[in-house]
Amino acid sequence: MPRAARLRASVASHPNGMPSPIAISSPRTISGNVTDARSPTWALMERPVRMEVPKSPCSNAPIQSAYCAISGRSRPSCERSAATRSGVRPGDIVLAVNGEPVNTPEQLRAIVAKADEIRFPRDGFQVIIDISSVSAGEPAEDRKYRILSKGNENTIVQTLEPATDKGQAMLMRGRDLWVFMPNVSQPVRLSLAQRLTGQVANGDLARANFAGDYEPKIIRTDTIDGEKMHVLELTAVDRGVTYGKVLYWVRQSNNWPHKAEFYSLSDRLLKVCRYEKFQNLGGRVRPTQLIMEDALRKGDLSTLRYSQMTAKDLPDRVFTKQYMDKLNRVD
């Protein structure tokens, strides 16, 4: 990574030619206001950032100071620059360049967390999900589930239809997942990545916690239908999560999720999800329909429709193996 990409403060020139104070916070902020024609692109936290530098470092003292602080040039005057006197030093991280904000890891995680809350509330709730899956040459498969969830860490997925599978239920605590089946005395351990139905994995229903399961970085900004989108690359924190990597499109204006591409641990595109039909559900506007398309088999897709979302007081004892046999009595 270039040295300039490791600066964590920003130098701003005052209109009268005197350097303005450098705002130092944690992390500190740099906003470079150096003008000119040479405009190299610096990699900043793996995000390309355009930074303008002067034609001549010696054009005037404030410009020279900014240039030396940003570029890392070894010049005697740099030792006396406003940037140096204000505490700018190698190893700092640039957060803004020419007034353009650069997102920190904390800001990126906050974006993902807000999108998580739009998909599923953090407080206790229940919701009905109808899933219709189609595959070339096969009849459509319809299934219905009831989800009980609390805090993105504790979830019960109860099968309501078809009648032949009624009574089956999955329990998730953290990333541990079990399936309970009628007439089977012991629960069976499952992985989040295993297929549930159609294009839907267990983790797609049981866990909506991208913020906790992935490390985000921003790779670019897209404009889709007039809306600016953050395009985030989410990398799995370990092998226990549902996908190895997710590319995630999130609206800048309101943090609504728009699209996600799901990849395997070997970086193979598995499927694409579109978040659609944003309507009021459970007290706020959410996507009430998801379309999951197989990236390998064209035409294979699952449609998930969300309805009847209500807040629900779910004590911790609900999310235990001992309580699962009482599931049908939980209202």
Q: For the segment 266-291, what is each residue's pLDDT rounded down to a tens digit?
A: 999 999 999 999 999 999 999 999 99
Report the alpha-carbon angle 84-90-95, nearest 5.
90
Q: For the segment 87-130, what is each residue's pLDDT rounded down to a tens digit?
A: 545 544 444 434 455 568 889 999 999 999 999 998 999 999 99
Residue extents of the structural domains in the chain: 3-102, 114-329
Tokens of 273: 């999800």
Give the pLDDT of residue 183: 82
Q: How far, in Å, CA of 189 to CA of 179, rounded?
A: 7
DSSP output for 288-327: EEEEEEESSSTT-EEEEEEEEEEE----GGGGSTTTGGGG
Q: Which residues pair with 13 in a beta bridge?
A: 19
Give the pLDDT of residue 266: 93
Q: Is the pLDDT of residue 83 over 50?
A: no
Q: Rounded to 5 degrees, what are φ and ψ at 204?
A: -65, -30
Higher pLDDT, 219 or 39: 219
Q: What is the mean pLDDT of residues 46-52?
A: 37
Tokens 């970085």 belong to residue: 217
Residue type, 301: L
Residue 148, SS3? strand
Tokens of 44: 């900043």
Q: Residues 32, 38, 39, 40: what is their CA dihedral angle, to the nearest 10 degrees?
A: -110
Judge whether 119 and 287 are in contact, CB under 8 Å.
Answer: yes
Higher pLDDT, 151 or 9: 151
Give the pLDDT of residue 136: 84
Domain 114-329 fold is outer membrane lipoprotein receptor (LolB), chain A (2.50.20)
Q: How far, in Å, CA of 195 to CA of 186, rounded?
A: 21
Q: How far, in Å, CA of 15 to CA of 212, rounded?
A: 44
- If you compute the radius of gyration of the chain from its CA atoms, what whole number of angstroms results? 25
Higher pLDDT, 294 or 186: 294
Reported as half-sphere exposure (CB side, CA atoms, 13 A), residue 33 has a value of 16
What is the pTM for the complete model shown? 0.70
Q: For the segment 54-71, what is each residue's pLDDT rounded down to a tens digit?
A: 333 444 444 444 444 444
